[in-house]
Amino acid sequence: MGQFLSTVAQSGVQVILETHSDHVLNGIRRAVKAGQIPAERIAIHFFQSRSDDGAQVVSPVLDRTGNIDTWPDGFFDQFDKDMNYFAGWD
């Protein structure tokens, strides 16, 4: 799905998507790494709970290899939480 959305965006259509799916995010990251869409054409915004400690919106940036520069607390972390639970670390 992420690679499909990247193809749509690369054709000139502006795509705005809200998702909790790491599969969609990783598909977009794979499309960037494969050169299907430039990283500069991707914007990611993570909305976190309001607090006095920092900004409510964090905007991680992809590099040309699909890596994310900032991984905010709570950003697509469910897989890690589940694996820690199964491993007995949680």
pLDDT at res. 52: 66
Taking the C-alpha atoms of residue 37 and residue 50, their distance in angstroms, rounded to an integer, is 33
| Of the candidates 23, 21, 28, 22, the residue with the CA atom closest to the CA atom of residue 4 | 28
pLDDT at res. 68: 94
Per-residue pLDDT of the chain (90 residues; tens, 9 = 90+): 998 999 999 999 999 999 989 999 999 999 999 999 999 999 999 998 777 677 789 999 999 999 999 888 888 888 888 888 999 886
The domain of 36 spans 2-87
Q: How many domains does the chain have?
A: 1
Helix (H) or strand (E) holding 78: helix 78-87
Report phi then psi at 5, rounded to 5: -60, -35
pLDDT at res. 55: 75
